Amino acid sequence: MRDNISNSYVALELPVQWGDMDAAQHVNNTVYLRWIESARIEMFQKMHEGEFDSNRIVPILAWQDCKYIFPVTYPDQVVISLDIIELLEDRVLCEGKIYSKKHKGIVAISQSLLMAYDMKELKKYPFPQTWRKTFIDFYGESILK
């Protein structure tokens, strides 16, 4: 595997399912986004050692894009990595990469912004300092720019 996947702090391997494919007989674009979402959940689980609890203040996806590089088809195994590019004052910029074992290469790259959201007030919430510390402890100070 390429170093930028294998050296990632978070890497999740998933099988491609027959039902993931669409009428064009390749994995539907929305599935790539779900794979990245699964990697984000894996990141929070690892950062909190399996004790991540989504209570009143939760991380939400504020923005996401995806560059589709090569179509994935069944059967295959994909490895999804997720890293933090930058920790900002009120949000965190993530980068996910999807690697196809069958094609031995990156098939998609996604960037996303996560923010804090107040589930009771239903609005953006200031980024908790405890979250900042957890991100820095997990990924290191290189995410601060």
Please state the rounded mean pLDDT for residues 105-109. 98
More confident residue, 69 or 48: 69
User: Distances in Å between the alpha carbon of 70 and those of 47, 48, 103, 137?
Assistant: 31, 33, 9, 34
pLDDT averaged over every residue in the chain: 91
pLDDT tops 60 at residue 3: no
d(CA 51, CA 84): 20
More confident residue, 145 or 138: 138
In tens, the pLDDT along 66-100 reads 999 999 999 999 999 999 999 999 999 999 999 99
Q: What are phi and psi of 35, to 5 degrees?
A: -60, -45
Q: What are phi and psi of 74, to 5 degrees?
A: -85, 140
> Does domain 3-131 bear CATH number 3.10.129.10?
yes
pLDDT tops 60 at residue 13: yes
**Any idea where the domains of the chain sit in the sequence?**
3-131
d(CA 66, CA 95): 10
d(CA 79, CA 17): 14
Please state the rounded mean pLDDT for residues 133-144. 92
